Chains A and B, each alone.
Chain A
Amino acid sequence: MNERMPQDGPESLAGERVHLRIESLGKRFGDTWAVREVSLDIGEREIFALLGSSGCGKSTLLRMIAGLETPSCGRILLDGEDLAAVPAHRRPTNMMFQSYALFPHMTVAGNVAFGLRQLRPRMARAAIAARVDEMLELVQMRAYAGRRPHALSGGQQQRVALARSLAREPRLLLLDEPLAALDKRIRQQTQFELVGLIRRVGVTCILVTHDQEEAMTMADRIGILSEGGLVQVGTPGEIYERPNCRFSASFIGETNLFHGRIEGDRLVGGEFPQPIRFVATVALQQGGEAWLSLRPECVRVHHRAAGDACVPERPDDNAAPAEVAEIAYLGGRSIYHLRLPGGGSMIASVPAAHWGEAAPPARGEPVRVSWPAPDGVLLLR
């Protein structure tokens, strides 16, 4: 894949040292591959999100890194050391499990101390107590040290689970759906808290999530997984602005996808009533199948007077007549669902300020849509 880092030299990822290297990792259950041929480099102190819908293999990938599953093929290298022969309980990784898996028969302090008690050579009692205190202080749960997990709220359990997984100072922190068990209300605030804590501790972190907002909020880079394979790796901005396939384009944010054939610098034969002008970044095969992804906020919507031929204002703009089908008013902006001549449809996100003094078009009104060709992203798969 094109996002693979060069094999030589530890320098990559914008100067960060490669911390975790995954090479052609695969896992087969029976005759189905849960994870196939995943290769990935993760830099020191990076927060990396594995994003995908349920069953895409993201949790299996995480569990292989933790040592809870044995890979069917490939290698996992942490600071250059192959982890294959290292059993789960000797790996310098710690995981925060989905719904936390706190030990119900131990207190909060007992949960945090558990990992410390397993360290060899043994840690002194006083040192363990001090470390537990420090960790609980870090997540602001010291007042709850004597409580049992079932007497805590979801958010408190999450913080205890984090303290427990950080107590052993792992070289790699693994988070499995860290916030899925929380109410939507407190989730966003918790996302920032969690990122703040991880950065403060300075640990490299891989998190698994199905929630694209969570991935975009928390991660430095995102790897999108589909059917066990990595589809695209990049910063949230890169993936949003330059998706490399239809799956990435529609998984991260909303998008308009127009299908068609390549003819010169146009995409023809799609749902869009005109040939679509695009800007090619790679060599293209004439007549080949392709898709154009266009983010809703790139679409411009204008009032259309009777007789407007919808000719593009500039030579590399795309334009077409349309009709407003539905409007979702969201305050600062509105989402316009537009009907295109010929049965197609598209959505546009229009800021309220766009209309200035004029009244925004109402449902059923004719409009003109347009966008500059460079705003569309041509996808070949």
Chain B
Amino acid sequence: MKARPASAQGHGRFWVGLLPWVWMLFFFVLPFALIVNVSLSTPDLAVPPYVSPFAGAAVDGAPAFRPDPASYARLGGELAALGTLAADRPYLAAYANSLLLAALTTLCCLVLGYPFAYRLARAPEAMRNLLLMLVMLPFWTSFLLRVYAWMGLLDSSETGLINQVLLGLGLVAEPLPLLYNTGAVLVGMVYSYLPFMVLPLYANLVKLDQRLPEAARDLGARPATVFLRITLPLSSRGIVAGSMLVFIPAVGEFVIPDLLGGGSVMTIGRSIWDDFGPNQDWPMAAAVAVLMVAMLIAPIVLLQRHGRGAGRGE
């Protein structure tokens, strides 16, 4: 049979090209629209526990749209009360905690991950794949299991592994309160997200032309100057990519703060959980989620800009 190569290929390309868009439609756009819809609903004691803005009586045959801005008004109210003293601002506090925790996590991952990635990229070529495998090794066990393992390590009683060692060595007289605080959460977050920082940094640093730092050294730059003026700026894309990969999921992280923080650290994830669950305030939870997505779009746009603009020519 005589094929129609050109057009057949064109069709194939069209459908394959469509796939990501279909995926985005069904797994991001539609769910997000649903969440936005819920966020504009009125809480109700029913199943589901809200009244959709489209649920009211039809006007002139078309369904009427009557959004309830109460949830956003609460968030706005907290923002408006920012200047006042001692006001109760649970949502704002959750946002602030999450952003701060994510920022700290990103910073720690960067500081720890950069030397990791640098050594990896400078390792003999035959060793690199093995070392990369080691970086990814933790992923071979369940994420939840690893967080529970941290609970076992950090446990604040005599049974905690770290406390056992410290007590055994006589370094401390009483077990340290290692678990259920911000420090424990940060340790768990950095541990879990470190590979997401190391991998893009490695991919960037391995491409760095080694003659550039050598040329800088030859031109009289001390090792610290070589790093700050040559290596660091030339790996900025990797730094941005790694930071985004850590920061964005870290903002919405729920499991680690909940398990290692024991409720002591209020995060966005925790507040959404509370409102969807015990508080039965779905519109509020949805509004919090919508605002979080809106906030995260800003850094993503920045990332896009950076990818296109500066740091060209490797």
The CA-CA distance from A101 to B226 in the complex, in Å, is: 14
Could you tell me which residues of chain A, from 62 to 77, have a CB within 8 Å of some CB in chain B? 66-68
Residue A105 at the B interface, CB < 8 A?
yes
- Choose the segment among A5-13, A45-53, A114-122, A302-310 that binds chain B (4+ C-beta atoms closer than 8 Å): A114-122
The reply to whether A101 and B209 contact each other, CB–CB distance below 8 Å, is yes
- Asked whether, in the complex, the Cβ of A103 is within 8 Å of the Cβ of B217, the reply is no
One of B214, B219, B313 near A148 (C-beta < 8 A):
B313
A183-210 interface code vs B (CB 8 A; 1 in, 0 out)? 0000000000000000000000000000
Chain B: CB-nearest residue to A104: B313
Any B CB within 8 A of the CB of A262: no
Contact of B233 among A97, A105, A149, A168 (CB under 8 A): A105
What are the interface flags for A98-120 relative to B under an 8 Å C-beta threshold, 1 for contact and 0 otherwise? 11011111000000001100110
**Which of A103, A115, A150 has the most chain B CB atoms inside 10 A of its CB?**
A103
The main secondary structure of chain B at its interface with chain A is helix
Instruction: Give 7 closest A-B pairs by Cβ, nearest first.
Output: A115-B219, A118-B220, A150-B313, A101-B211, A104-B313, A101-B215, A88-B217
Give 11 pairs: A residue, B residue, CB < 8 Å, sorted on A: A89-B218, A97-B211, A97-B215, A98-B211, A103-B212, A104-B312, A118-B219, A118-B220, A118-B221, A118-B225, A168-B219
Determine if B2 is an interface residue (Cβ-Cβ < 8 Å). no
- Indicate if A125 sits at the interface (CB-CB under 8 A): no
- Which A residues are in CB contact (< 8 Å) with B92? none
Is residue A158 contacting chain B, with contact meaning CB distance below 8 A? no
Q: A-contacting residues of B (Cβ < 8 Å)?
A: 209, 211-212, 214-223, 225, 229-230, 233-234, 311-314
What residues of chain A lie closer than 8 Å to B212, measured between beta carbons? 101, 103-104
Contacting residue for B221 out of A68, A89, A94, A148, CB 8 A? A89
Specify which chain B residues have a CB less than 8 angstroms from the CB of A104 in the assembled complex: 212, 234, 312-314
Q: Which residues of A pack against B, CB within 8 Å?
A: 66-68, 88-91, 93-95, 97-99, 101-105, 114-115, 118-119, 148-150, 164-165, 168
CB neighbours (8 Å) of A67 from chain B are: 218
Cross-interface CB contact of B234 among A91, A105, A119, cutoff 8 Å: A105
Q: Tell me the smallest distance from the CB of A334 to a CB of chain B, in Å.
A: 44
Among candidates A68, A150, A168, residue contacting B217 with C-beta atoms closer than 8 Å: A68
* 8 Å CB contact of B220 from A68, A99, A115: A115
Point out the residues of chain B lying under 8 angstroms from A93, CB to CB. Answer: 218
Contact of A89 with B215 in the complex, beta carbons under 8 Å: no
B228 to chain A minimum Cβ distance, whole angstroms, is 12
How many angstroms between the C-alpha atoms of A155 and B281 in the bound complex? 69
Taking the closest CB of chain B, its distance from the CB of A264, in whole angstroms, is: 56
- Residue contact B214 to A68, C-beta cutoff 8 Å: yes
Interchain CB contact under 8 A, B216 and A103: yes
Give the distance to chain B from A84, nearest Cβ to Cβ, in Å. Answer: 17
Query: From residue A249, how far is it (CB to closest CB) to chain B in Å?
Result: 34
A101-B211, A105-B311 known; A94-B218 Cβ under 8 A: yes
CB distance from A16 to the nearest CB of B (A): 26
Considering only CB atoms, which chain A residue lies closest to B216 in the complex? A114
Q: Is the CB of A101 within 8 A of B314?
A: no
Tell me whether B214 and A97 are in contact (CB under 8 A): yes
- Given the interface pairs A104-B234, A105-B234, A149-B313, the reply to whether A114 lies near B219 with Cβ below 8 Å is yes
> What separation, in Å, do the CA atoms of A104 and B233 have in the docked complex?
10
Evaluate contact between B211 and A114: CB separation under 8 angstroms: no
Cross-chain contact B222 with A89 (CB below 8 angstroms): yes
B10 CB to closest chain A CB, in angstroms?
A: 35
Contact of A68 among B218, B222, B313 (CB under 8 A): B218
Which residues of B lie under 8 Å from residue A90 when comparing CB positions?
Answer: 220
The distance in angstroms between the C-alpha atoms of A291 and B118, with both chains bound, is: 54
Query: Which residue of chain A is the closest to B230 with respect to CB atoms?
Result: A103
**How far apart are the CA atoms of A115 and B217 in the complex, in Å?**
9
CA of A95 to CA of B211, assembled, Å:
11
Q: A97-B214, A98-B211, A118-B221 are in contact. List 18 more A-B contacts (CB 8 A).
A: A68-B217, A89-B217, A89-B220, A89-B221, A90-B220, A93-B218, A95-B215, A97-B215, A104-B313, A104-B314, A105-B311, A105-B313, A114-B219, A114-B221, A118-B219, A148-B312, A150-B312, A150-B313
